[in-house]
């Protein structure tokens, strides 16, 4: 399929070797889009073991894959907690491609330090989750949305939320609050931008089989004397048994929904939040 031929996409949080951002960027490129990708520079201690072992180079590695598909790619490192860096990143994309047709707000804070009861949750952790998971989505939507309005060609904004944005769980106050807020932002932005033919939707995955870094998982793995990958494998297996379709999502499952919402087939859909969770949650 080449239904996105001539489109320019910007995907945040796209540097993970097995992440949703990379899968989404590749899917959009396969559909014909040229792609700008961004992520923050991480310390080695904040990388999944497989990325260290495979000498994965974040968005630089993803850019090579996209270019091998015959599409143009612009990798830009950006700390999404810094409004100025977001402005600069979007400016680089506009200078390179002249426009942005599709924005995928995928980046999220590294989980784990938030997995405590609300009475023990530090203000620093709370603020960090809101800054990356919510405020950065707002700022990217605002900055890119202004360019879409200015150019007058419509557009697609797709926010990656979560099951946790519809149903909270214990020891998840910061993460759930940040993702609930994304759904409110999605609906309000959809109404604000509808007159410009810019649609705004959200995708709400359940558990995903990625190598995402989790401080909580790393700590428990150390306590049990197993590798992080072994511990993660147990979680994936257990979560799969609890899922009606018998497995948890792969990154490509989420990317497929994003690609649909970015396409002309979804031109009359806005303000919605689609679950991709194998039947875990129907709300």
**Residue 232 domain flag:** no
Active site residue: 27, 115, 166, 179, which one?
A: 179
The per-residue pLDDT for 57 is: 95
Work out the average pLDDT over 173-194.
98
Least confident of 121-130, 132-141, 211-220, 229-238: 211-220
The per-residue pLDDT for 252 is: 98
Could you read off the pLDDT of 243-269 as tens digits, one per residue?
999 999 999 999 999 999 999 999 999
**Residue 23 domain flag:** yes
Domain housing 257: 8-210+250-276
**Residue 154 domain flag:** yes
The per-residue pLDDT for 213 is: 61
**Residue 21 domain flag:** yes
* pLDDT classification of 103: cutoffs 50, 70, 90: very high
pLDDT at 21 over 80: yes
**Residue 195 domain flag:** yes
Active site residue: 27, 166, 175, 274, which one?
A: 175
* pLDDT classification of 223: cutoffs 50, 70, 90: confident
Work out the average pLDDT over 139-161.
98
* pLDDT classification of 125: cutoffs 50, 70, 90: very high
SS3 201: strand
Structure-token match 């270019």, residue found: 67
pLDDT at 178 over 80: yes
**Residue 36 domain flag:** yes
**Residue 2 domain flag:** no
**Residue 218 domain flag:** no
153 is catalytic: no
Work out the average pLDDT over 73-89.
98
Task: Measure the CA–CA gap between 80 and 139, rounded to whole angstroms.
Answer: 9
Least confident of 109-113, 129-133, 212-216, 241-245: 212-216
Could you read off the pLDDT of 44-57 as tens digits, one per residue?
877 888 888 899 99
* pLDDT classification of 66: cutoffs 50, 70, 90: very high
Comparing 214 with 37, which gets the higher pLDDT? 37
HEC-encoded secondary structure of 21-90: HHHHHHHHHHCCCEEEEEECCCCHHHCCHHHHHCCCCHHHHHHHHHHHCCCCEEEEECCCCCHHHHHHHH
179 is catalytic: yes
Task: Measure the CA–CA gap between 181 and 177, rounded to whole angstroms.
Answer: 6
CATH code at position 65: 3.40.50.720
Work out the average pLDDT over 128-132.
97
- The domain tally of the chain equals 1
pTM: 0.94
Work out the average pLDDT over 198-220.
85
């Amino acid at each position: 399929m080449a239904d996105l031929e001539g489109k320019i996409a910007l995907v945040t949080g796209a540097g993970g070797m097995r992440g949703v951002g990379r899968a989404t960027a590749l899917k959009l490129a396969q559909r014909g889009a040229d792609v700008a990708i961004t992520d923050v520079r991480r310390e080695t201690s904040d990388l999944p073991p497989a990325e260290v072992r495979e000498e994965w180079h974040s968005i630089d590695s993803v850019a090579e894959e996209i270019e091998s598909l015959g599409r143009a790619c612009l990798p830009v490192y950006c700390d999404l907690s810094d409004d100025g860096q977001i402005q600069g990143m979007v400016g680089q994309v506009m200078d390179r491609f002249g426009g942005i047709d599709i924005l995928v707000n995928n980046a999220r804070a590294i989980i784990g330090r938030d997995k405590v009861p609300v009475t023990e949750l530090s203000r620093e952790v709370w603020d960090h989750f809101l800054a990356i998971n919510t405020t950065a989505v707002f700022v990217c939507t605002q900055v890119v949305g202004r360019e879409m309005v200015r150019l007058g060609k419509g557009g697609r904004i797709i926010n990656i939320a979560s099951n946790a944005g519809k149903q909270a769980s214990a020891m998840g106050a910061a993460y759930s609050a940040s993702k609930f807020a994304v759904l409110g932002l999605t609906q309000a932005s959809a109404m604000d931008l509808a007159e410009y033919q810019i649609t705004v939707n959200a995708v709400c995955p359940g558990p995903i089989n990625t190598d995402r870094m989790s401080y909580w998982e790393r700590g428990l793995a150390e306590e049990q004397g197993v590798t992080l990958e072994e511990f993660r494998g147990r979680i994936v297996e257990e979560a799969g048994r609890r899922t009606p379709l018998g497995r948890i999502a792969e990154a490509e499952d989420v990317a497929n929904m994003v690609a649909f919402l970015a396409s002309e087939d979804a031109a009359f859909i806005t303000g919605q939040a689609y679950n991709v969770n194998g039947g875990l949650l129907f709300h």
